[in-house]
């Protein structure tokens, strides 16, 4: 399963790989930001 994925990943042109990586990066950033916001809201509500 993983080998197939890696093989496909290698077959991809560089441009699409960069696109995918940047997309994942943006996703992670948004998730972290929303988690921070949620924590802040929770702290405010508990006080």
CA distance 12 to 40: 41
Give the model's pLDDT for residue 27. Answer: 97
Give the model's pLDDT for residue 29. Answer: 97
Give yes or no for a contact between 17 and 9, defined as CB atoms under 8 angstroms apart. Answer: yes
12, 19, 31, 40 from 27: Cα distances, Å = 21, 12, 6, 20
The answer on pLDDT for 3 being more than 80 is yes
pLDDT in tens, 24-47: 999 999 999 999 999 999 988 887
Contacts of 20 (CB under 8 A, 6+ apart): 12
Give the model's pLDDT for residue 33. Answer: 97
């Amino acid at each position: 399963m993983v080998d197939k994925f890696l093989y496909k990943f290698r077959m991809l042109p560089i441009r699409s790989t960069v696109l995918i990586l940047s997309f994942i990066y943006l996703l992670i950033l948004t998730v972290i930001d929303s988690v921070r916001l949620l924590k802040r809201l929770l702290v405010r509500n508990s006080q």
